[in-house]
Amino acid sequence: MKPEDHAWRDLRAHASAQLRRGFAERVLRAAHGPEPAAWEQLRAHGAAQLRPGFAERVLRAARAVQAGVPSLFSQFAVGAATAAICLLAVAYFHSRANRLEEERNLAGWQRLAAEVQDLDPTL
């Protein structure tokens, strides 16, 4: 039986033999990301795609949306109303299910009583 270190070395050697040449270099390059020059080219290309005044329009739109954000109280009120509606729906469906079950049980007992009366007419 081989010691554990030897088994790990064999496994590592087998795994590294499966990789293509330059794999580690490609992984490290991808992990580090593009060079600063590539980022600068991306920024320049992105800036060329935007129309003048884009930043001002975005800030203006963000401020307009911020003014329309609901207050904490209104969010709480909507949440409370939703919870109340859900609670009412659960109570309604629960009482309806109980009523239907009670009607089925009563019909079953009436059927049983009719059968018993058919078997013993003195009752």
pLDDT of residue 106: 96
Give ∠ CA 69-56-37 in degrees, rounded to 5.
115
Q: What is the pLDDT along the chain (123 residues), one digit of tens a residue?
A: 568 888 888 888 888 888 888 888 888 878 887 788 888 999 999 989 999 999 899 999 888 877 777 788 989 999 999 999 999 999 999 999 999 999 999 999 999 999 998 888 776
The answer to the question of residue 107 being in a domain is yes
* Number of residues that make up the chain: 123
CA 24-28-32 angle, to 5 degrees, is 175
Tokens for 14?
């087998």
* Number of domains within the chain: 1
- pTM equals 0.40
Q: Is residue 35 part of a domain?
A: no
| Residue 25 belongs to a domain | no
Residue 119 lies in a domain: yes
Name the residue range of residue 93's domain: 71-123
pLDDT at 86: 97
